[in-house]
Amino acid sequence: MSSSVGSGPGSASGLWRSALEAVSVTLIGLLLVAGLAMTSHAVGSLTGPDVAAATGTPTRAVSDQRLVAVGAGANVTGQVGHDPASTGAGIGALTGTDKDGHKSSQAAPPRPAAAAEVNSEQAYLDSAAAVAARAEREAAAPAFDQAMVGLSAAERAAGQGVRAGQALHEDNRLQQDQRSQGQAEEAAGIASEVARLEEEKRLAEEAAAKLAEQARLAEEARLAAEQAAAAAANGTLLEGTLVRVPTLAPVAGASVAAAVAPIVPGRYQIAARFGAVGTWSLYHTGVDLGAPIGTPIRAAAAGIVTAPVAGGWAGTHVIIEHADGSTLYAHMMATTVVPGQSVRAGEVIGFVGMTGRTFGPHLHFEYYPPGTSQVSPYAATDPVVWMARRGIQL
Q: Does residue 98 sit within a domain?
A: yes
Residue 191 lies in a domain: no
Alpha carbon of 305 to those of 199, 265, 288: distances in Å?
44, 23, 21
Q: Is residue 259 part of a domain?
A: no
Of 30-34, 81-85, 341-345, the range with the lowest mean pLDDT is 81-85
Residue 212 lies inside a defined structural domain of this protein:
no
Number of domains in the chain: 2
- The distance from CA 206 to its chain's CA centroid, rounded to whole angstroms, is 41
pLDDT of residue 100: 52
What are 223-261's pLDDT values in tens digits?
Answer: 666 665 555 454 433 333 444 444 434 434 434 348 999
Tell whether 41 is covered by a domain.
yes
Listed residues 109, 144, 179: the one ending a domain: 144
Domain assignment present for 329: yes
Does the pLDDT value for residue 356 go beyond 50?
A: yes
User: Is pLDDT of 133 > 90?
Assistant: no
**Which of 86, 112, 144 is where one domain is finished?**
144
What's this model's pTM, rounded to 2 decimal places?
Answer: 0.39
Asked which of 144, 160, 175 is the last residue of a domain, the reply is 144
Q: pLDDT tier at 317 (50, 70, 90 boundaries)?
A: very high
What CATH number is associated with residue 276?
Answer: 2.70.70.10
State the DSSP string of 269-320.
EEEE-TT--SSSSSS--SEEEE--TT-EEE-SSSEEEE---S-GGG-EEEEE
Q: For residues 274 and 382, is the Cβ–Cβ distance under 8 A?
A: yes
Residue 93 has a pLDDT of 42
Query: Does the pLDDT at position 80 exceed 70?
Result: no
CA distance 106 to 103: 8
Domain range enclosing 125 = 2-144
The dihedrals phi and psi of 280, each to the nearest 5 degrees, come to -80, 165
Q: For helices 84-95 and 12-42, what crossing angle results, to 10°?
A: 70
Identify whether 305 is part of a domain. yes
Crossing angle for the helix pair 84-95 and 59-79, to the nearest 10 degrees? 160
On whether residue 186 sits in a domain, the answer given is no
Residues 217 and 246 sit within 8 Å (Cβ to Cβ): yes
- Asked if residues 97 and 107 have their Cβ atoms less than 8 Å apart, the reply is yes
Helix H or strand E segment including 192? helix 114-233
Helix (H) or strand (E) holding 330: strand 325-335
